[in-house]
Each structure stands twice: as structure tokens, then as C-alpha cells.
Chains A and B, each alone.
Chain A
Amino acid sequence: MIRSLTAFLMVLTLSLAVQAVAVDEKPLADPVQEARARALMKEFRCLVCQNQSIEDSNAELAQDLRMIVRERIALGDSADNVRAYMVDRYGDWVLLNPPLKSSTIFLWASPFLVVLVILFVLVGRGRRTVAPVPLSDEETAKLAQLLEDTK
């Protein structure tokens, strides 16, 4: 929700949106290609609105990037080529889906690592009290005595 506020602030500071030369946006004629392009657009982060994909942003730059994605797809580029094109210009920052690298290993492994930590904090606790201490000889004798008495 706040992404729009950010967009708003960016508009004020960079005053990018309103007065720039507008570009007509047209979907690709081939619905299969258009669907591929749309799917790809959802993977790229909008640069001026921070937490939206270029697919669902109103920003001018997002619109330009959408056109580029469509052009590339229409020219027969693969999804990987389009991603490389974007990363080449804007870095990994532009990918909403962080690629698996040495720097993101902990991120992708976090669901599994965290489960282990929480199991450690939560479940391990009582272990030491679980195993009942066996009765000593003295206690056994006492117990036998008690049982004897109640008979």
C-alpha cells in the first residue's frame, strides 16, 4: 500500500510522470507472445515506485520497460535473454525473484534453517525432564514397604 506513497514522493522529487512525453502502449498482436511478455513483466521491479513490478505500475519508466520487454519477446528473445538485458542495466536489484547465488543462499534456505532454530528453542527445552530418574534401591524398598502396608 505504501508503494504508492513512495511513488507519489518520487513523482514530487523527480517529477517524472506527468509532463514527460507519453508513449502509446499497445499489447502484442500474438496473444501467446503477449502472455509471455506479461509474465516476464511481473518479474521486474519498477525503478521509480520501489515495490511494484513494472507490470502493475503507472510510472512512465515502467511503461517504457514494458515496451522493451514486448519488443524483445516479439523479436524472439528467450525469457533469460530479457532478464539478462534488464540485469545488464539495472543489476540484480531489478529482479523481484532473487537469483540463487552465494549471497542469497541463506535467504532461500531460511524456511528450513528457521524451522530448525525454532524446534531447538521450542521442543528441546523439556528433554532433560522427560526421562524419569529410575528409583534408587532405597526408594524401591520404601515403595514395596508402602504397598505392603496398604494391603
Chain B
Amino acid sequence: MKRFVPLLVVSALVLLFLVMMLSDRNPNEIDSVLIGRPAPEFSLVSLKEGAPALTTADLKTGAPVLVNFFASWCVPCRAEHENLMALAGGYRVPVIGIAYKNDPDKARGFLTELGNPFSKTGLDLDGRVGIDWGVSGVPETFLIDGDGVIRYRHWGPIVGDSLTERLLPQLKALQ
């Protein structure tokens, strides 16, 4: 019996590796622990001069909302911008943008240059709100249901098939 122990251990490990490699997972992605919890309380000044502050209340609209953390210095954010425009436009989902550790002028410049998909914006200059949301880098996008509860978090840019394969099905399920 015991002469089979090494063989069994090796087989189990190979199986584990195989399962993990075939599964559709990104080893760098840290699962959000906020799923199913109400969005954290916050209040941020808007990027738009004179506009009221962005607060948690703005998320409880009775319909799904997306919250996108972005920054002008973030290259992948440029890549996903087109999809954010499409979400706000064709798909008619309100997208709220939070500029993460970004100089407000540069963030505004970014939106002027590429177009503004955001119905409301907030400026998270010191990154504290990002940390409260468990953000580890930009871009990250959160899907909030009508009651202000976080339902899904998209890690990294919404590019390639991740819009149609990942984000939209989650959105449909809520609508």
C-alpha cells in the first residue's frame, strides 16, 4: 500500500493544477468581499464645478448603476473608455465615475478628450474611498443594484469580451 503513496500524491497534485489551469481564473485577481453588502458610505466633491457632492444616496436610484474607478494616468482606463461610453449610451446604464488619486484638472481633461460617459462624478483625491471599496488598482467597476447593494465587481479594464461575457449578463440578471 505505502509504495503507492507517492504516486497518489503526485496524481492529486497534477489534477489540482489541471483544474486550476483550465478554470477561467486570473491568479492576480483578488475577489471582492463587498459583494452582497451595501456600498460603503462616502461623500466626494464632484469633478464638475458647482455640482453637488457625490454621496452613497446617489447610488440608491431604484435601478442598477455602475460605479467606475478611473484615473487619467491609468493606461488600461483609456482602453475600456469606449465600452463605458457604450454602456452609458446604447445600454442606457447610468455610470458614476470616481477619479482615483487623480489631479482634478487632469481628470477633467481626460473626460474632455475621450468623452464623458459619467452621469455623476466624484473626486477621491487621497484614495480613501477606493480603499473603503476594496479597490486595489484602477480601473475597477462595481455593479450596484437599486437598493445600493454591491452585486458584482469587474476587476481590471472592461475590454475584449469581458463586456458581453461578464458584465452584461450580471447586469441583465439585475434588470
Q: Which residues of chain A have a CB within 8 Å of any CB of chain B? A: 10, 13-16, 19-21, 23, 47-48, 50, 60-61, 64-65, 68, 87-91, 93, 117, 120-121, 124-125
A14's closest neighbor in chain B, by CB?
A: B137
> B residues near A, CB below 8 A?
2, 5-6, 28, 30-34, 71, 73-76, 101-103, 125-128, 131-134, 136-138, 156
6 contacts across the A-B interface (CB closer than 8 A): A10-B28, A20-B102, A21-B102, A65-B131, A89-B132, A120-B2
Residues of A within 8 A of B103 (CB): 21
Known contacts A16-B74, A21-B125, A91-B30; can you find 7 more A-B pairs with CB under 8 A?
A50-B28, A64-B131, A65-B131, A89-B33, A91-B33, A93-B31, A125-B2
Find chain A residues with CB under 8 A from B127 CB.
60-61, 64
Top 4 A-B pairs, shortest CB-CB distance: A47-B136, A19-B73, A14-B137, A91-B33
Give the interface SS of chain A, mostly helix, strand, loop or mixed.
helix
**Inter-chain contact A16/B138, CB cutoff 8 Å:** yes
Q: Are B126 and A64 in contact (CB under 8 A)?
A: yes
User: From A60, which residue of chain B is reached at the shortest CB distance?
Assistant: B101
**B residues in contact with A91, CB < 8 Å:** 30-33, 134
Write out the residue numbers on chain A whose beta carbons fall within 8 Å of the beta carbon of B5: 117, 120-121
Least CB separation from A61: chain B residue: B136
Query: How many Å from the CB of A151 to the closest CB on chain B?
Result: 47
Q: Contacts A21-B101, A61-B137, A90-B30 hold; do A14 and B76 have CB atoms under 8 A apart?
A: yes
A50 to B103, CA, bound (A): 27
Question: Which chain B positions have C-beta within 8 A of A21?
Answer: 101-103, 125-126
- Please name all residues of chain A whose beta carbon is closer than 8 Å to the beta carbon of B6 when the two chains form the complex: 121
Q: A15-B74, A21-B103, A47-B136 are in contact. Are A68 and B131 (CB under 8 A)?
A: yes
Q: B27: nearest residue on chain A (CB-CB)? A: A50
What are the residues of chain A within 8 A of B76 when measuring CB–CB? 13-15
Report yes or no: A20 in contact with B28, Cβ–Cβ below 8 A. Answer: no
Which residues does chain B contribute within 8 Å of A15, judged by CB atoms?
73-76
A16 and B134 contact, Cβ closer than 8 Å, known pairs A21-B102, A91-B31, A91-B33: no
| CB-based contact A89/B131 at 8 Å | yes
CA A120 to CA B9, docked complex, whole Å: 14
Closest to B77 in A: A15
